[in-house]
Amino acid sequence: MPEPRAINITVFLDDVTAANGPLFFIPGCHKSGVVEAGHDLEMTSYPLWTLGRDKVIELAEQGDALQ
């Protein structure tokens, strides 16, 4: 890859609940351009790219404004 612009996509085969790792879709967040992400070094044995809670809230609020 010339630039690190890959994402993980998950298809859940069972119902998604708050207890088994929900996937959130934020309408319109793709219009924000490249979003600054950081590494979570605690949840897995490898660096996992994540967004901070504040950034997710900001994107969700922007998505609500687009609807």
In the chain, what are the domain boundaries? 29-66
Q: What is the mean pLDDT of the chain?
A: 76
**Long-range CB pairs of 46-55, under 8 A, 24+ apart, other chains included:** none
Type of residue at 28 = G
C-alpha to C-alpha distance for 63 and 60, rounded to whole angstroms? 5
* Partners of residue 48 on adjacent β-strands: 40
Using one digit for the tens of pLDDT, what is the confidence trace for 37-64? 888 888 778 787 888 888 888 888 886 6
pLDDT at 66 over 80: no
